[in-house]
Chains A and B, each alone.
Chain A
Amino acid sequence: MSAGKVEDREEAAAPLGPFGECPLPIFEHPQIVLGHGSGGKLSAELIEKVFVSRFRNATLEKMDDQAVLEIGGARLAFTTDSFVVTPIFFPGGDIGTLAVNGTVNDLAMGGAKPLYLAAAFILEEGLAATDLARVVDSMAAAAQNAGVQFVTGDTKVVNRGKGDKVFITTTGIGLVDRGTQLSADRVRPGDKILLSGTIGDHGITILSQREGLEFESALESDCTPLNGLVSAMLDEAQSANAITDLRVMRDPTRGGVATVLNEIAVRSRVGMVLRENMIPVRDTVRGACEMLGLDPLYVANEGKLVAIVAPAIADRVLDVMRRHPLGADSVIIGEAIEQPAGMVLMKTSVGGTRVVDVLFGEQLPRIC
């Protein structure tokens, strides 16, 4: 680079606003960056600006993890999800189990009984056939475990270097056979926030397997289908004649619990207060997060759910969750409040209060 380049920059910087003296970065990225897939603000901006603005309709605008559609008198839940993960095999699962459970869980969070799945595979030239068979075996086992069937699919192969071993998209359909009204805009002040167990297990497991970050741990991904747990919760609410007291359920995958709660707080126009010392985090996950400067509230889960329920049935629902093997560590981590609407606060364990905001892009490990 020459001195001329520097002069160009200074000239270009001169007409900027009151903070023109500061180096104004171009954050309107002209190309897609990894942060667009993080689940944070960059993702939200991409979805709104590129997709929702063009596809706009009432169902899409609900922005839930699944669409619930009335077709021929039946209520059907419908969802799709793509799976890209490195490495494709990891402790506690692989890309196949993720692809089944992720879509099953998105259906279950809408109060649906998951029924049928479709799978589309993008395979990279050179992928070992045995690896593919292993992934598909996992998918078959996971489908059986979740009580769903694959009924259609598609396969494409791309040149070596144009993919990363295997990308899988699964689409699912399920039947909403109860009077549930689960949606992110239904939370009211006073509602309780329930969490089904420890957070961050999946994200830290994947991180620990990546090249360049080798730390030993016995940690496993929590990847699992949650439809059984959800079904038990729905049964309980129904028997209490309070099915609509279940306001919303979400599986806090990418972006973690913090991102999901912020989305709900904004959609329902309520505030939330969490209690830090109630949020269960395994020591290994906490240790890794401390070491890397990450916050477990933003780390991905693949087998946990957050449910927000009316205070009247909170204890009953919590009780039934704790009796289920996938919800043994369930806790009430906080509640909805009136103000500040659209924000999530947390009482820290030392007695301070902070805001739990949405991340802007990827969570980056800090230097020291």
Chain B
Amino acid sequence: MKYLDEYRDGDIAAKLVERIKRMQTRPWVIMEVCGGQTHSIVKNGIDHLLPKGVELVHGPGCPVCVTPLEMIDKAHAIARRPDVIFCSFGDMLRVPGSDGDLFSIKSSVGDVRVVYSPLDCIKIARANPDKQVVFFAIGFETTAPANAMLAWQARQMGLTNVSLLVSHVLVPPAIEAILSSPQNRVQGYLGPGHVCAVVGYAEYEPLAARFHVPIVVTGFEPLDILEGVLMVIDQLESGRADVENQYSRVLDRGGNRPAQDLIGKVFEVSDRKWRGVGMIPRSGFQLRDEFRAFDAEHRFSVQAIDTMEPAVCISGQILQGIKKPHDCPAFGTECNPQHPLGATMVSAEGACAAYYAYGRHLKDADLVTLGDNR
């Protein structure tokens, strides 16, 4: 298939791995920021292609995993209301709140619907004028333009039965928090390709300079990731710490200006809580005052819900790259996708779920041997 097969070629992959091996002289720890990259790495077995000294750790870029418990509880409180049609991206439905998940609410009291685009909510709102349609607007910069467009169109059309429960987060403050941590092990970053397609990568330059870390904005196909790793190692081995763009077929330094304009009209930067990490200043978006009428937290008076985040949870350390899924004694035993103990096991993009789904609950050595025998 065009634009996919070119980036999944086994022969080119082997050549890239060879170049990485030749270039690398000492161990390096590299974080892929985005959950989509984590997914691709484990789905394609890329971590097993890399030489031993190159360790990939999985970053905080899974929107489902970082949405704080109190937002989930707010969502559930709204979704339980008889006058509400609650719309969400699919993988939020399994995320546990304090009491059950959206699947449970859908099966008992609530009208919960999976949408593929936030703008589907406009259609649903028009078809159900006697219902309040609420969209769970979560995600990083990637989903912000489409979510902003929902608020924008709802206001343009004068729809009074549409609102957004906003829990938007931003990548650079999370990277800053990780790099500032005394436990930090990360020496280089695969930057988030989709996020940078929207906002560009200029704002990563001060981070690279201040912490002296290379950041290579990277795509999601196997060859993208291998090339991104190669570019990071090239910088690490030569002592450079620049922002580079591996994903130039999709994005440039400035990003998508019309999308940024729209985000700027609808959202403003605010403090946000992150699940498993806690409050990070100026790390997310909230609706601007002009759009306050579309804020579901106000409309349904759920601001007071203030669930305490668990004080110690390994999913927080996994999100920051301090630990890996199989460092956890519960991984693959008490904790599995059927009985997730933490957010990173819930979403398909969560590092634990990705590890589990693609078999990293086996010992690495078992898999490599099996693979090589065949």
Binding site for B on A (CB under 8 A): 1-3, 5-6, 9-10, 13, 17-19, 21-27, 29-35, 41-42, 212-213, 271, 273, 277, 283, 286-287, 290, 292-293, 337, 339-340, 343, 345, 347-355, 357, 360-361, 364-368
CB pair B98–A2 under 8 Å, yes or no, is: no
Partner of B370 from A25, A30, A287, A353 at Cβ < 8 Å: A353
A259 to nearest B CB, angstroms?
A: 13
Partner of B194 from A3, A286, A337, A368 at Cβ < 8 Å: A368
Partner of B143 from A271, A352, A367 at Cβ < 8 Å: A367
CB pair B36–A368 under 8 Å, yes or no, is: yes
Residues in A with CB closer than 8 Å to B10 are 277, 349-351
Partner of B91 from A35, A212, A364 at Cβ < 8 Å: A364
Q: How far is the CA of A91 from the CA of B120 in the complex (A)?
A: 23
Known: A24-B341, A353-B48. A34 touches B96 (CB 8 A): no
User: What 15 new A-B contacts, CB under 8 Å, besides A349-B9, A366-B348?
Assistant: A2-B304, A9-B98, A19-B313, A22-B314, A23-B310, A27-B340, A29-B107, A273-B370, A273-B374, A277-B10, A347-B371, A348-B45, A352-B44, A355-B362, A367-B349
Residues in A with CB closer than 8 Å to B362 are 340, 355
Residues in B with CB closer than 8 Å to A22 are 310, 313-315, 341-342
B126 to nearest A CB, angstroms?
A: 13
Q: How far is the CA of A265 from the CA of B331 in the complex (A)?
A: 23
Residues in A with CB closer than 8 Å to B120 are 212
CB pair B48–A352 under 8 Å, yes or no, is: yes
A47 to nearest B CB, angstroms?
A: 15
CB pair B103–A34 under 8 Å, yes or no, is: yes
CB pair A290–B4 under 8 Å, yes or no, is: yes
Residues in B with CB closer than 8 Å to A339 are 370
B70 to nearest A CB, angstroms?
A: 9
B49 to nearest A CB, angstroms?
A: 6
CB pair A354–B45 under 8 Å, yes or no, is: yes
Q: Which of B109-117, B174-182, B199-207, B282-290 contacts A (4 or more CB under 8 A)?
A: B109-117
Nearest residue (CB) in A for B309 is A23
Partner of B104 from A13, A29, A283, A290 at Cβ < 8 Å: A29
Partner of B312 from A21, A348, A355 at Cβ < 8 Å: A21
Name 11 interchain pairs, CB-CB below 8 A, sorted by A: A23-B69, A31-B108, A33-B106, A212-B115, A212-B124, A340-B362, A348-B43, A350-B8, A354-B358, A364-B94, A367-B64
Nearest residue (CB) in A for B311 is A21
Q: Does B138 contact A (CB under 8 A)?
A: yes
CB pair B96–A24 under 8 Å, yes or no, is: yes
CB pair B63–A367 under 8 Å, yes or no, is: yes
CB pair A1–B90 under 8 Å, yes or no, is: no
Known: A360-B338, A361-B94. A21 touches B310 (CB 8 A): yes
Nearest residue (CB) in B for A281 is B1
B77-100 residues with Cβ-Cβ distance < 8 A to A are 77, 89-94, 96-100
CB pair A17–B334 under 8 Å, yes or no, is: yes
Nearest residue (CB) in B for A335 is B374
Known: A340-B362, A351-B49, A367-B63. A34 touches B311 (CB 8 A): no
Q: Does B158 contact A (CB under 8 A)?
A: no
Residues in A with CB closer than 8 Å to B305 are 1, 6
